[in-house]
A and B are shown apart, each in its own frame.
Chain A
Amino acid sequence: MTCEDAQSLLLDAQRGRLAVEARARLDAHVRTCARCTHEVAAEQLLSEALEARLPQHAAPVALKRRLAAAWPDPAAPARPSIRGRRWFVPALAVAAMLLLALPLYYPRASDRSTVMVAEAVNDHLRVLTSQHPLDIESGGMHQVKPWFEGRLDFAPVVRFLGDQDYPLQGGAIGYYLDRKAAVFVFHRRLHVISLLVFPAEGLPWPRGDLRRLGRADAYVSASRGFNLVLWREGELGYALVSDVEAPELIGLAAKLAPAS
């Protein structure tokens, strides 16, 4: 198999569309070819970037209302199905109601929560691996929060200022999927805890397995050895990630979430 042959099969392999024999031949070639090994990694990363980070523009609600209101078009010519017109008005009403009840975001194929969990863990890993994870070292929350002014198009609301158990280390500007995020870094003994604050609108928020956290409904999960708590409050979303034990992380989340 040549490199050209292999590269023509990479996308099919990535999508699981290759027959077993063809996949085996491709894998055998890739194992011995640095160029194709690079191509496999680059194509995989490109797919991940497109699926997780390309901005997902949801149709504005006003547009949806206009679409629902415009059907049927009164100027449209009569069609054979016009016989069903007496069914048409209630049908349109049902369609419009369903439309307005639909979520603003439709993930492609993956589970709704997977994208948000994976991105939060990736952001936490960036904090852990970065040589300079903090743009502003902490002199306390009253010093860190004002630093974000003018650097974000929203004001991050953080209720907990840090204490001896969970000292605040500082903050930084980060990205969460397609939008900017405020990153706050807390410590718990020797563990690092990242808190991401970002605009909540248009994200594929988990709908099930929620637990009450003050006045917020929180989604608690674990991925790649990290524990994670996701919740939203008004227009802002929060993701808390760390390798500390889940009860300790939930304890910090309870301090950050709105009190009941």
Chain B
Amino acid sequence: MAEAPPDATRIAADARDRVRFEEEALALSDQVYRVARHLAGSREEAEDLVQETYARALSAAHQFTPGTNLKAWLFRILRNTFVSQYRHERHNPTRGGLDTVDPNAQGAAPEQWLRGDLELDRLRKVVGEEIERALTSLSEEARTVILLDLEGLTEVEVAQVVGCAVGTVKSRLARARAALREQLRDYQR
């Protein structure tokens, strides 16, 4: 068989990358939608957000490097789209940036852990609707780090998505989880 000319080989390689990119990007639509739904809050807004995310991803497809983390790349576009287009349009119960929270506020205060059995019992019994409501009540920053962590992204990948230092992700995640626990504690009072 005659050897393919170099140009044809390059075109074929480009096409394979392109197919892989599209297959993988579309296969991630459930995960992208899942995060979008918890960020945007409603099905309609989440669908709009995901469509806009994929439109932007397609436009920027040539900037994606094959072999790198496509999921983190899509989440970064999703998050940027949400922040730029949706955040200002919605009433968002952000209660101050997580990075400005008193570091000593992390974890249970001494008088709280003495009531710890109540919290553990509450966490065992909490149902999906309550977790979703508590998550929705958190700031966009807090929800984002919790959701990305839940989707299995490493701290390095989360840092790439939200554009901050890895150490900041670690502290944001800890404070976001503490805030979520606080919200869930509120439901038992």
A pairs with B: yes
| Residues in A lying within 8 Å of B, measured CB to CB | 3-4, 7-8, 11, 34-35, 38-39, 41-43, 45-46, 49-51, 53-60, 63-64, 66-68, 70-73, 76-77, 79-81, 83-84, 87-88, 91-92, 94-96, 98-99, 102, 104-106, 108-109, 175, 177-179
* A-chain residues with CB within 8 Å of residue B37 when the two chains form the complex: 57
Report which of A38, A84, A178 forms a contact with B14, defined as CB distance below 8 A.
A84
Report which of A46, A60, A95 forms a contact with B19, defined as CB distance below 8 A.
A95
What's the minimum C-beta distance from A19 to chain B, rounded to whole angstroms?
Answer: 16
Report which of A39, A43, A45, A53 forms a contact with B128, defined as CB distance below 8 A.
A53
Q: How far is the CA of A38 from the CA of B29 in the complex (A)?
A: 37
* A-chain residues with CB within 8 Å of residue B14 when the two chains form the complex: 81, 83-84, 87
Report which of B32, B150, B184 forms a contact with A108, defined as CB distance below 8 A.
B150
* A-chain residues with CB within 8 Å of residue B138 when the two chains form the complex: none
What's the minimum C-beta distance from B117 to chain A, rounded to whole angstroms?
Answer: 8
* A-chain residues with CB within 8 Å of residue B33 when the two chains form the complex: 57-60, 63
Q: How far is the CA of A63 from the CA of B30 in the complex (A)?
A: 10
Verify A98–B27 contact, CB threshold 8 A. Answer: yes
Verify A108–B113 contact, CB threshold 8 A. Answer: no
Q: Can you pick out 21 interface pairs between chain A and chain B where the beta carbons lie within 8 Å of each other?
A: A3-B107, A7-B107, A7-B174, A11-B170, A11-B174, A34-B113, A42-B119, A42-B123, A55-B132, A57-B38, A58-B30, A58-B33, A58-B34, A63-B47, A64-B26, A71-B54, A76-B59, A81-B62, A108-B151, A175-B128, A177-B128
SS class, residues of chain B in contact with chain A: helix
Report which of B29, B30, B58, B177 forms a contact with A72, defined as CB distance below 8 A.
B58
Verify B107–A39 contact, CB threshold 8 A. Answer: yes
* Interface residue B9 (Cβ < 8 Å from any Cβ of A): no
Nearest A-chain residue to B151, judged by Cβ:
A108
Verify A67–B152 contact, CB threshold 8 A. Answer: no
| Residues in B lying within 8 Å of A, measured CB to CB | 11-12, 14-15, 17-19, 22-23, 26-27, 29-34, 37-38, 43, 46-47, 50-51, 54-55, 58-59, 61-62, 104, 106-108, 110, 113, 116, 119-120, 123-124, 126-129, 131-132, 135, 146, 150-152, 170, 173-174, 177, 180-181, 184
Q: How far is the CA of A59 from the CA of B36 in the complex (A)?
A: 10
Report which of B22, B38, B59, B124 forms a contact with A91, defined as CB distance below 8 A.
B22
SS class, residues of chain A in contact with chain B: helix
Verify B18–A42 contact, CB threshold 8 A. Answer: no
Nearest A-chain residue to B116, judged by Cβ:
A38
Verify B120–A42 contact, CB threshold 8 A. Answer: yes
The answer to whether residues A67 and B26 also contact, given A49-B126, A56-B34, A83-B14 and a CB cut-off of 8 A, is yes
Q: How far is the CA of A64 from the CA of B23 in the complex (A)?
A: 12
Verify A105–B135 contact, CB threshold 8 A. Answer: no
Kindly list the 9 A-B residue pairs having the minimum CB-CB distance in the complex, ordered from nearest. Answer: A87-B15, A178-B128, A59-B33, A45-B123, A38-B116, A84-B15, A91-B19, A95-B22, A57-B37
